[in-house]
Structure formats: C-alpha cells, structure tokens
C-alpha cells in the first residue's frame, strides 16, 4: 500500500495517481495534525481491517493536485547510517582526506548510527534552503529510509524486517567540513529543510527485499548518483538490530540507510531529484534561506 500525508496533514492511500483519504479512521486528538501518521503506523492492524470495509473517505483526488507533506512528519527519532557504501567511503576519503573524522571509512557495523534533528524534515512539495554561509559546500545524498512499525528492542537481525512498517525516499543534505571548520556531523546535517522525505511511504509487504532497490539522484537533469541498495555494507535488517540494542525503537521512528557514491554540491537555483525503485521520485528546488 502507498500512503501519503498531504495538505492539512490528512492521510491518504495512493493508487494509480489518485488518493483516497483515510483521515476519518484517525481519532480526533491526532486527526489533521503532524502526528496523525504516527497514530496510523502504531495502529496499523486495525486500520488495515477498516480499509478493507466501507468508511467515509470522501472523493478521490489526483495526487498531482495535493501539497505532499513528509509521509512521517514528526518521527520521535531520526537515525542515520554513516558511510554505508564502499564507493562513497572511497570518494569521500579522496575529497576530504585533510578533514576526516577518526571514524571515517568505518561501516555502521563498527560505528553504529548518528542522529539528525527531526525538525530538519520537509516534504516533496517544499524546498531545500541553504543557509548563507560563504565559502561552504553543501552536498546531496540520496538514500533509502525505513519506518519502524512496532516497538523494537534487542531485535535479532533475522527478525528485524518484521518490525518495519514501510520504506520511503530521503535526501540527506550535508554541510561539508573543511580543514578550518569541523562541525559535528549531527549539526551539519540538521539545518532546517536538510531532510526531504517522500513522496510516499510504501508498506513493507510491497517491498519484501529492501536490499534490491535502485537509487538515482539527478541535479538539474544530470544523473549524479546511480546505485543499488544491494551495495550497502550493512543491510536494513542489521541496521535496525544494531539500533534496537542501543535504545528501544517506536512506531513511526525513521531510519535512513546511507548514501551511495556520486554525492555532489548543490547551490541555489538547482533542482534535486531522487528516485528509488518501487517507491517513486521527488524533486525539490534549492533556495537561499531567508533568515
């Protein structure tokens, strides 16, 4: 099933370019709020049963006419895998050898995960806004992200996929370090608008193997990244298992799995597009932040 959040945080199911709203299934404390999708994820078994029967959904609306929000606007946690593709590790080592952190070049199996601020999340109808920091470089990183579907604590890797609700596209926008400037990774990746997510959340039953999905990123129509999740050093199941041994994961938590090679700079005026097989694509303009 393909789920979207749109307009005033309504929740809907998308099929063949049309959206059927399901907000009437969400209790009023959460309905029409950024937390509506968290409730849907946590209560999915009962929601799925209701979707199979009649309910007040209103008229079908074209997807193209909606303002798409992030499919999970406010996850409790936003976790990220560092350097999870060998080719990306190699390209970053070549570019930033003089400004590399001590853990650079080590996979998530050795170094775990880092945190991004959930407040950096935006949707596919928004823009990437770069802060006016003269002389600094900002890069795109296209990634597969997954959403936790039920409480996960000390999960074994062979069981981990059962804890995933669904998958979506994510852009991890990054301020690069320099020999003179060595900001912490969570700060460099947590500027407002630096985590576009969308356009849809595809439930896990439609993607039984998240380790076999093509990822592509274009900037102004130029293909920059073209890879597959088969090249991840640490797969989705192991990433979830590692994190679940650090802290309990909750329904709606978002985990992004790292970027393949081909990352490159973006500047105001660009348009960045990310596409992942079986999920979809989103394009966002790049602007200068007004504050």
Mean residue pLDDT across the chain: 95
pLDDT at 260: 97
Spatial distance between the Cα atoms of 48 and 70, rounded to a whole number of angstroms: 21
For residues 146 and 164, the answer to whether their CB atoms sit within 8 Å is yes
pLDDT at 37: 98
Q: Say yes or no to pLDDT of 68 above 50.
A: yes
Spatial distance between the Cα atoms of 14 and 105, rounded to a whole number of angstroms: 40
Q: Say yes or no to pLDDT of 55 above 90.
A: no
Tokens of 248: 């309990």
Q: Average of pLDDT values for 91-111?
A: 73
- The CATH code of the domain at 78-288 is 3.90.850.10
Pick from 29-33, 51-55, 128-132, 210-214: least confident: 51-55
Report pLDDT digits (tens) over 114-147.
999 999 999 999 999 999 999 999 999 999 999 9
For residues 255 and 217, the answer to whether their CB atoms sit within 8 Å is no
Q: Average of pLDDT values for 222-240?
A: 98
Q: Average of pLDDT values for 184-199?
A: 98
| Residue 98's pLDDT band (cuts 50, 70, 90) | very low
Query: What pTM was computed for the model?
Result: 0.95
Q: Average of pLDDT values for 187-191?
A: 98
Pick from 15-29, 55-69, 176-190: least confident: 55-69
Q: Say yes or no to pLDDT of 34 above 90.
A: yes
Torsion of CA 267, 175, 201, 238, to 10 degrees: 140
Spatial distance between the Cα atoms of 219 and 124, rounded to a whole number of angstroms: 15
C-alpha distance across the termini of the chain, in Å: 39
Spatial distance between the Cα atoms of 118 and 122, rounded to a whole number of angstroms: 9
DSSP code for 66? S
Tokens of 270: 């660009």
pLDDT at 56: 76
pLDDT at 194: 98
* Domain boundaries, given as residue ranges, for the chain: 2-69, 78-288
Query: Within 10 Å of residue 271's Cβ, how many Cβ atoms?
Result: 15
| Residue 32's pLDDT band (cuts 50, 70, 90) | very high
Find all residues with CB under 8 Å of 28, minimum gap 6, and list them.
none
For residues 222 and 194, the answer to whether their CB atoms sit within 8 Å is no
Report pLDDT digits (tens) over 200-221.
999 999 999 999 999 999 999 9
Place of tokens 């078994």: 45
């Amino acid at each position: 099933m393909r789920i979207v959040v749109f307009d005033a945080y309504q929740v809907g199911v998308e099929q063949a370019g049309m959206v059927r709203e399901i907000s009437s299934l969400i209790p009023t404390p959460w309905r029409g709020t950024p937390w509506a999708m968290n409730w849907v994820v946590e209560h999915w078994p009962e929601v799925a049963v209701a979707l199979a029967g009649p309910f007040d959904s209103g008229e079908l609306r074209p997807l193209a006419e909606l303002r798409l929000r992030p499919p999970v606007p406010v996850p409790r946690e936003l976790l990220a895998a560092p350097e999870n593709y060998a080719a990306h590790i190699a390209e970053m080592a070549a570019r930033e050898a003089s400004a590399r952190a001590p853990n650079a070049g080590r996979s998530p199996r050795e170094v775990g995960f880092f945190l991004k601020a959930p407040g950096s999340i935006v949707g596919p109808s928004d823009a990437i806004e770069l802060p006016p920091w003269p002389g600094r470089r900002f890069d795109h990183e296209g990634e597969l992200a997954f959403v936790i579907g039920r409480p996960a604590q000390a999960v074994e890797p062979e069981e981990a996929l059962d804890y995933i609700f669904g998958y979506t596209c994510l852009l991890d926008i990054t301020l690069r370090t320099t020999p003179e400037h060595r900001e912490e990774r969570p700060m460099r990746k947590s500027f407002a608008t630096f985590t576009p997510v969308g356009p849809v959340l595809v439930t896990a039953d439609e993607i039984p193997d998240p380790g076999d999905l093509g990822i592509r990123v274009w900037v102004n129509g130029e293909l920059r990244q073209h890879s597959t999740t088969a090249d991840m050093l640490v797969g989705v199941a192991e990433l979830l298992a590692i994190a679940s041994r650090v802290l309990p994961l909750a329904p709606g938590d978002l985990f992004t799995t790292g970027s393949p090679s081909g990352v490159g700079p973006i500047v105001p005026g660009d348009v960045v597009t990310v596409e992942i097989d079986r999920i979809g694509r989103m394009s966002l303009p790049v602007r200068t932040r007004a504050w």
